[in-house]
Amino acid sequence: MKEAATGIGVSRAALEAYLTDVIPEFETLQSVTKFGTGQSNPTYQLDATSGTYVLRSKPPGKLLPSAHAVDREFRVMQALAGTNVPVPEVLHLAAPQTSPSRRAFFVMRYLPGRIFWDPALPDLQAEERTAIYDAMNAALAALHDVDVNAVGLSDFGKPGNYFARQLDRWSKQYLASVDTRSDAMVEIMDWLGAQMPPDDGAVSLVHGDWRLDNMIFAPDAPEIAGILDWELSTLGHPMADLAYQCMQWRLPNQGDMRGLAGIDRAAFGLPSEADYIADYARRRGLAGIDHWPFYLVFAFFRLAAILAGVAARAAAGNASNPQMARKYGAAVPALAAMAMIVIQEGPDA
C-alpha cells in the first residue's frame, strides 16, 4: 500500500472508515498530525468531530525481534485502568492482519496537559519542582505495588532472574544493531554477567522507560494525568525502573538526553539521588537497596543498547525521527563511559 497523506500508510478516508467501524463513538476524522517527538513508534494526533485521539503505530520496514510492541502497550494500559497508576484510556487495538495500514496500532483518548522535556524544570518554581518529583516517586511505588494477578498480567513476563534475561536480550539486540561492537560495551556486558545479583524473587510490573517526559502532568497542578510509552513494560525487578530514572541525576543537563548533573538540586527544589531512593524505599516498606552499582550500570547499558537500535533504524531509513535517531546513536559511547565510571567507583557508586 502506497504511503498516504496521513503518514500512517493509509488514506484519511480509509482510516476514518475503519475507526468509525471499530470505535462506536468515533465520528468524522478531520485531521491527522504526527507528533514530532518520540523514536520507537510513530504517534499521531487524530482530530475528529467526536473528540481528540492519539494513534500509536508500529513503524514501517524490517524490525528487530520483539521491538515496537504496541500490543503490549495497549494491554498494560488497559489492565491498569482503575488502579492507582494513571494511564490514558485506550479504545482500540488494530492487529496487522486487519489494520488498514497492515501495521499494528492502537488508539487512545487524548490527554490535555503538560509534558516536561528538561528534568530540571527551569520554568517552574522550586515548590512545584519538589511536588512533581514526589508525584513521580509515588507513582513508581504505586506501579511496583500493583497486584499483577488481580489486573490480569500474571503472564506478562517470563519467570526467572529478570536481570539475567534482560542482559541476554539487550546484549543480543545491541550486537544485532551494530556493525562494529564497542570495546566498552563488551566490557560492560562481561562485568554485568560477572556481577549478577542472586535472584531475590522480587517481581513487579515495570515500565521500562520511567522518566519525566513519558508523563503528562495536569495543566494546572503537579499531578500526573497519564503515564505514556509502555512498549518496554514487562514483569521484572522493580530496581530496574528506579535505577533507570536515577540515571538522570548523572546525565548532563545539556544536549538531547538531559539530566540533572551540574544542577544545584537543593536550590532548585529537586531531590538528591539518595533522597529519591529513600522516599521510594519508604513508600514500599523496604529497609534498603543492595547491589545499587549493578542496577545503575545495567540501566546505562540497556539505554545504550536501545539507542544503538534507534541509530540502526535511522541508517536503514525506518526511524520515526531520523535526525534525532542519529543524535541518540552518537550518545551510545557517552552512556557506556558513564557505566564504566560507576564500575570504577565500586560499591559506593
Whether residues 99 and 139 share a domain: the answer is no
Rounded mean pLDDT of the chain? 89
Q: Which three cell numbers stand for residue 61?
A: 520496514
Cβ pair 77, 62 in contact under 8 A: no
Q: Are residues 65 and 130 in the same domain?
A: no
Count of alpha carbons within 13 angstroms of residue 102, beta-carbon side: 7
Say what percent of the chain tops pLDDT 70.
90
185 with 332, same domain: the answer is yes
Q: What is the pLDDT of residue 39?
A: 52
Domain count, the chain: 2
Per-residue pLDDT, averaged over 30-39, amounts to 79
Instruction: Look at residues 77, 109, 141 and tell me which one is the last residue of a structural domain.
Output: 109
Closest CA to 257 of 312, 294, 209: 209
Domain shared by 148 and 212, yes or no: yes
Inter-axis angle of helices 292-316 and 322-330, nearest 10 = 140
Q: Is 3 domain-assigned?
A: no
Within a domain: 306: yes
Cell numbers representing residue 244 in the block? 533507570
Q: What is the mean pLDDT of residues 277-302?
A: 95
- CA-to-CA dists, residue 243 to 91, 237, 280, angstroms: 32, 11, 11
Tell me which residue of 86, 83, 10 sits closest to 44, measured CA to CA: 10
In the structure, what pLDDT confidence band is assigned to residue 311 with cuts at 50, 70 and 90? confident
Question: Are 50 and 132 in a shared domain?
Answer: no
Tell whether 102 is covered by a domain. yes
Residues 234 and 204 in one domain: yes
Regarding whether 140 and 286 lie in a shared domain, the answer is yes
Residues 291 and 172 in one domain: yes
**Cα within 13 Å of Cα(125), Cβ side:** 4
- Same domain assignment for residues 44 and 150: no
How high is the pLDDT of residue 3?
41
Quick check: is 1 in a domain? no
Distance CA 42, CA 320 (A): 5
- 338 burial via Cβ count (<10 Å: 0-12, 13-18, 19+): buried
Pick the closest to residue 203 from 253, 172, 237, 152 (CA basis). 237
* pLDDT higher than 80, residue 285: yes
List, in order, residues 6 or more apart from 27 with CB less than 8 Å away: 20, 48, 49, 50
Does 283 share its domain with 209?
yes
Residue 38's pLDDT is what? 55
Domain that holds residue 198: 126-348
CATH code assigned at 31: 3.30.200.20
Q: Is residue 114 part of a domain?
A: no
> What is the H or E stretch that residue 51 is in?
strand 51-57
pLDDT for position 47: 97
